Structure 1
Amino acid sequence: MGLHVGDLPDFPWDTLAPHAARARSHPDGVVDLSVGTPVDPTPELVTAALAAAADAPGYPTTHGTPELRDAVVRWYARRRGVPDLDPAAVLPTIGSKELVGLLPSLLGLGPGDVVVHPAAAYPTYDVGARLAGATALATDRVADWAGRDGVRLVWLNSPSNPTGAVLGADELAEVVAAAREIGAVVASDECYALLAWDEPWRTSGVPSVLDPRVSGGSHDSLLAVHSLSKQSNLAGYRAAFVAGDPTLVAGLLETRKHLGLMVPAPVQAAMVAALDDDEHVAAQHARYARRRTALVAAFEGAGYRVEAFPAGLYLWVTAPGQDAWTTVADLADQGVLVAPGTFYGAAGARHVRVALTATDEAVARAVSRLTGA
């Protein structure tokens, strides 16, 4: 029996509409911190590369150009501590969300199979399992699934959306070892990897599942997913990729050929330019760091608790004695729109997620409202 729309949950952000309307009614306008959509300009070197490749009358290849796959290999070696990636084991995707949502189906999962994902997690992990007819299991405990029959896919997300938590190399290696024992694939969503704020991650970098310290020198059964949306302001380009196990990537490639899932050629050229330049990434990191510092101080000064988080694009915030939706409503009354933690599972029932993706001017307005300045 095919999947029906009713089998999927309501799209979370649709339920936020009444609070969005309330926030928009603020006399000084809404400050929208509910969605992590970039607001800063796309780097000129990227737009120039896109324009130079705009004459693209033919179909792009599903596997991506050799230039793009080589750029990904260089980037992994330079920025992610992965020196031995096979260019053939790199596959561009139309943003990372489609890969997250489709991966269980592309891997052939179905009824009776289990997809593990973090306890507080981006909802598309669960949606992807449902689309395939599989069962989702939300947990951060390896003991909850290690040795369990039917576990076919284990999602990791480090740095985490929504919490900003980071898994160290030893923690990642524990997951990889347990998954390999039962023949499960480990897919690691690493889209926020270059947005680390605290040590040691700021200096050493957030570990990738493909890091030799994690993988043991073999990428068998491992996939890493990365997006340029956050680090390079390319959300509108839908520019991402998956890399890792050559056999798994080859299987994904063959299925995606049948489906026509191809990244446009000009976007591929833009990705090469973005991946080969670190300066614009550092500049964007500095913008987010500045906004983060201002918002943390404002929320804490207003009596909220900001969970310690070493990386990522969000604050994970609680108000004493309140559930998530009450906090959303209180902030909407101040013209500040945030996302309830319930969007990310039961673990977020008392939290709200606050995105750093607002202009400096908008952040300053939010700070002023929170502090009464």
Structure 2
Amino acid sequence: MSAVSSRLPVFPWDKLEPYKATAAAHPDGIVDLSVGTPVDPVPALIQRALVEAADSPGYPTVWGTPALRDALTGWVERRLGARGVTHANVLPVVGSKELVAWLPTQLGLGAGDRVAFPRLAYPTYEVGARLCGAEPVPYDDPTQLDPAGLKLLWLNSPSNPTGAVLAPEELTRIVAWAREHGVLLFSDECYLELGWEAEPVSVLHPDVCGGSYDGIVAVHSLSKRSNLAGYRAAFLAGDQAVLGELLKIRKHGGMMTPAPVQAATVAALGDDTHVREQRERYAARRSALRAALEAHGFRIDHSEASLYLWSTRDEPCWDTVAHLAELGILVAPGDFYGPAGERHVRVALTATDERVEAAVKRLG
């Protein structure tokens, strides 16, 4: 059996273990601001929906219940400003990471094909290309790429790790270029509801896509906005031809969102109150951490949205990781997201108020 893993980079988080041990040895315990996993409770109305659907002995469907599809189309129109969204324009997936990693394979890409993604980016875009044998292509401006052999273009706004937001006119320009050259565009918008100093816009907004979803798909997740990382709840919206093909493939693969999670997703997308409350928690943590980091000598770049502060002391990122680990604070080195991040660290806002307060004191 060939080792498919040999195509892949070393799993980055394993390299952080020694620094995690150092931070954990702090007398007051570790403040883990590295992975970005939610720590706040799952909202009660979502838990209730999950429990009420717990008696689900039959197989769920890959496309989801009609109620779920109604919830997806309704949210996409209400929150993203999209128009004329039908059930054919949406598809639930088993968490967005699964989708990102296996999308090139499910699209039938392979040797000779190219998959492009931002130069500073979530590592799974590259992993997805390598899993199917395609060529990973990092970019600064996608419209400067050679479109020959380019089959999939990833956008990510708001960005992980930098928190940068693409302006509507920039999105419009990129969508037009992708359509002109027949390049399928997937836009990872999982942090769209977490804009702080900018208002993120979806590629599905009519001002960006011209009211047509041809050649474009948006990826959304409930992990961060609803604290549902443990539920693996996410979905796609956009080009019905692309989603129809993915639906056929995913049926064969049995890639089904569990029925209780489908019910929980309906509840989550139908309620804006818990999203607003969670935003307020993150806003307070962001303000406290940003002020403490800047007072400690850091510069915060970009970071106008998402759940991270893209921070630098103008030194190699692993020196910064080591310095903060001695204070009992664990962060992610910027080179996890590409060589261009080698002098930054990513500081997550996903810690309890008590742990954030501890970090602020240690930075003081």
TM-score range, shorter chain: over 0.9
Specify the alignment match of 1:173 in structure 2.
Answer: 172
Counterpart contact for 1:316–1:353, Cα < 8 Å = yes
Structure 1 position 140, deviation (Å): 2.3
The equivalent position to 1:244 in structure 2, one of 238, 247, 270, is 238
Specify the alignment match of 1:85 in structure 2.
Answer: 85
Corresponding residue SS for 2:220:
strand
What are the equivalent positions in structure 2 for 1:9-48 lying under 5 Å apart? 9-48=9-48
Asked whether 1:153 is paired with 2:152, we answer: yes
The equivalent position to 2:340 in structure 1, one of 335, 340, 347, is 347
CA offsets, 1:267-324, max 9 Å, x none? 000000000000000000000000000000000000111113211010000013x100
Code of the residue aligned with 1:356 in structure 2: it is L
How many Å separate the matches in 1 of 2:175 and 2:206? 12
Specify the alignment match of 1:209 in structure 2.
Answer: 203
Counterpart contact for 2:4–2:131, Cα < 8 Å = no
Corresponding residue SS for 1:230:
coil
The equivalent position to 1:327 in structure 2, one of 280, 302, 320, is 320
Corresponding residue SS for 2:119:
coil
Q: Where in structure 2 are there 5+ consecutive unaligned residues?
A: none
Structure 1 position 26, deviation (Å): 0.7
How many Å separate the matches in 1 of 2:186 and 2:140? 14
Corresponding residue SS for 1:317:
strand
Structure 1 position 7, deviation (Å): 1.3
Counterpart contact for 2:317–2:334, Cα < 8 Å = yes
How many Å separate the matches in 2 of 1:44 and 1:284? 13
Specify the alignment match of 2:74 in structure 1.
Answer: 74
Structure 1 position 83, deviation (Å): 2.3
Specify the alignment match of 2:182 in structure 1.
Answer: 183
Q: Where in structure 1 are there 5+ consecutive unaligned residues?
A: none
How many Å separate the matches in 2 of 1:101 and 1:130? 9
How many Å separate the matches in 1 of 2:10 and 2:216? 31
Corresponding residue SS for 1:175:
helix
Asked whether 1:6 is paired with 2:29, we answer: no
Specify the alignment match of 1:310 in structure 2.
Answer: 304
Specify the alignment match of 1:338 in structure 2.
Answer: 331
Counterpart contact for 2:143–2:177, Cα < 8 Å = no
How many Å separate the matches in 1 of 2:106 and 2:311? 36
Code of the residue aligned with 1:98 in structure 2: it is E
Specify the alignment match of 2:54 in structure 1.
Answer: 54
How many Å separate the matches in 1 of 2:311 and 2:142? 26
Specify the alignment match of 1:273 in structure 2.
Answer: 267
Structure 1 position 3, deviation (Å): 5.7
Corresponding residue SS for 1:51:
helix
Asked whether 1:96 is paired with 2:89, we answer: no
The equivalent position to 1:259 in structure 2, one of 253, 274, 283, is 253
Corresponding residue SS for 2:225:
helix
Specify the alignment match of 2:128 in structure 1.
Answer: 128
Structure 1 position 4, deviation (Å): 2.0
Counterpart contact for 1:151–1:182, Cα < 8 Å = no
How many Å separate the matches in 2 of 1:5 and 1:104? 16
306-315 or 269-278, larger mean C-alpha shift: 306-315
Counterpart contact for 2:83–2:211, Cα < 8 Å = no
284-293 or 76-85, larger mean C-alpha shift: 76-85
Q: What is the TM-score of this pair, normalised by structure 1?
A: 0.96
Code of the residue aligned with 2:351 in structure 1: it is A
Code of the residue aligned with 2:277 in structure 1: it is A
279-288 or 75-84, larger mean C-alpha shift: 75-84
Code of the residue aligned with 2:60 in structure 1: it is P
CA RMSD in angstroms comes to: 1.1
Specify the alignment match of 2:195 in structure 1.
Answer: 196
Q: What is the TM-score of this pair, normalised by structure 2?
A: 0.98
Asked whether 1:357 is paired with 2:350, we answer: yes
